[in-house]
Amino acid sequence: MASLVPPQAPPSWALSADQITSEMSKLIDESKKVHDQVAAIESPTFDNVLATMADFSNEKTGLLNQLTFYQHISASKDIRDSSSKAEEAYRNFDIEASLREDLYKVVNTVYNSKPKLDAESTRLLEKSNLDFVRNGLALPADEREKLKGLQKTLSNLEVQYGKNLGEETGFILFTSEELAGVPEDVVSQFEVVDGKFKMTYKYPDLFPVMKYASDPETRRRAFVGDQNKVMENTDLLIQAIKVRAEIANILGYKTHAAYVLEDRMAKSPETVMNFLNDLRDKLSVGGQTEIRKLLALKKQDESERGIPSEEGVFNVWDFRYFDRLLLEREYEVDDQKISEYFPMQSTIEKMLQIFSILFCLKFIEITGHERSVWHEDCKQFAVWKKDPAETSDSFVGWLYFDLHPREGKYGHAANFNLAPGYTDRDGNRVYPVTALVCNFSKPSAKKPSLLKHDEVVTFFHELGHGIHDLVSVTKYARFHGTNVARDFVEAPSQMLEYWCWQPNELKFLSSHYIESKPIDDELIRKIVRSKHVNGALSNLRQLHFALFDMTLHTSEGDIDVTKEWNVMRQDISLMQQGNETTYGYGSFGHLMGGYDAGYYGYLWSQVFAADIFYSEFLDEPMNTTNGLRYRDTVLKPGGSKEEMDDLRLLLGRDPNNKAFLEELGVSD
């Protein structure tokens, strides 16, 4: 182990707020200089235009990603603010650059010359030319100028929305009586204010309250509070919908969705809407059956508690509670008991072992003074690989874990590419840096951090994105790792979630935090049997998000966003919300973070995920030969090839939805 010295140092995390500002200013100035130099070339070629810009992008994308990453993870508000402003400045510069007619002319000249290039360079040329066309460079000058103003407005709206969401500090104070049923180890971590317990809207606080609080009024307050926690964002999204529609119109597209989907696997809004509505039809029947079962359980529970029950009414804030109760009573699945078998530290170690076997990787944690991290909670790994035919280990890249909530930190679970891999002009490999940012409960004085099964699945999913980043090998940073079509990007991680539902792999991952014994077979059987309990309702919830997104972005901007959010939720999810009007779209970060007209991708890519797992891994999940073939066929190319071509090569046929429908238990 000691002999494995990474050939590339990890990033440094010592920048101050002022340094972030100055580094971004310097980066923008250098970018302008390169663009000016390229735009002035009188005899444009791939080498002096595209390769020059690609070399600069290769070298500087890591710095750009790092400067804008600070806003999500720094403990300093000044640094977070500086990072957010730096991102806004770069976005505005990028809009200017994307609308430069002189840059378009030299790129388009090279494109029209049809040079003979390697496949990835050809793809870079085609994509670069298409970017300019989609940015309106074929338009008259006055319309281009209007477009530039609108794109800057949209960029600023998106940055501010994300900043507001990241800085959200809302909470509700509950009495101990109001929190009846919530596990003591959860409540004990709540701050006490004026004799009451402070529940923030961070997941480790909110979800246990929604799942365990026996008082329906507590659940209602928690749900509505969370939905309405960033009210200042509601108007930002409403403005963004209008601006996006106007931009699409100027560019000659009927709607924003038509513009976005042209460059995705789905290609058109009609394809997406047909997919979503077909799935809704198939899931609604099962959803009605599941609602009836939950209603019966609700009636029984409220009768036992002496709580007045509203006949035939199942509210959205009751779902997590009665879903958990059903799992406990009928399936004997106890989240708290199961979590005892998944202490975070040993679970992480065993997850990494699974990836070691599947993809021939080696993860070496960096500790002590050699560590280079942005917060003391972070873990840092040097990642290596050694395939069966290789005689020595080869470096893959750097991996970070930032796993616990803190004030000002990104509030969900996500993977961030901090620096893409690429091949420099001398043929040398520059290695990627990637980070998992999650919000799992911190250890207490009595217990280590324990992962509920759904958190194990979440961790595996996000780590899947990280692995995609690490094992990808592309010539250009633009195509590295998860830089694939947005409606395919989730498929590799969704596919890896299946390992969390396989009996042998579950047993391997588990180790009781006191007794160190693996989870017993009977408990595993119960977990596996529960996989699709209320699965129709869970997927209908996803359909609400996806159809809401598509409804907004197939409009011309003149749409009552609040009405659509609330009416569609009740119609699609099959659950009521009383007389409450909620504004959850103010914290629906996907719609302002790159998933606009793209949320359907979570369901769309599940089709590919199920097909890959059933075809390649169902019979033997830990088959290294299949793992390496999948790694090199699907993950390694990143976005340097058409994703459908990679899938056909892996499967030996066109992908289909048979496994997906079988997994959900609905008929084709």
> Catalytic residue positions?
462
- In order, the DSSP letters of 64-118 are HHHHHHHHHH-S-HHHHHHHHHHHHHHHHHHHHHHT-HHHHHHHHHHHHT-----
Sign of the four-CA dihedral 586, 591, 593, 599? positive
Name the nearest CA neighbour of 609 among 472, 441, 468: 468
Name the nearest CA neighbour of 464 among 593, 612, 578: 612
Residue 268: CB atoms within 10 A of its CB come to 13
Name the nearest CA neighbour of 536 among 325, 285, 336, 353: 285
Question: What 3-state DSSP class applies to 197?
Answer: strand
Name the nearest CA neighbour of 50 among 122, 98, 99, 135: 122
Q: Number of helices (H) and strands (E), helices first, in the chain? A: 25, 10
Name the nearest CA neighbour of 493 among 432, 550, 544, 434: 434
Taking the C-alpha atoms of residue 134 and residue 21, their distance in angstroms, rounded to an integer, is 30
Rg (CA), the chain: 25
Rounded to the nearest 5 percent, the helix, strand and coil shares of the chain are 60, 10, 35
Residues 6+ apart with CB under 8 A from 271: 261
Taking the C-alpha atoms of residue 536 and residue 291, their distance in angstroms, rounded to an integer, is 10
Taking the C-alpha atoms of residue 243 and residue 239, their distance in angstroms, rounded to an integer, is 6
What is the maximum alpha-carbon separation in the chain?
Answer: 83
Q: Kindly report the backbone phi and psi dihedral angles of residue 409, in degrees, each rounded to the nearest multiple of 5, phi listed first.
A: -80, 150
Taking the C-alpha atoms of residue 200 and residue 597, their distance in angstroms, rounded to an integer, is 30
Question: What 3-state DSSP class applies to 507?
Answer: helix
- In order, the DSSP letters of 524-553 are HHHHHHTTTTTHHHHHHHHHHHHHHHHHHH
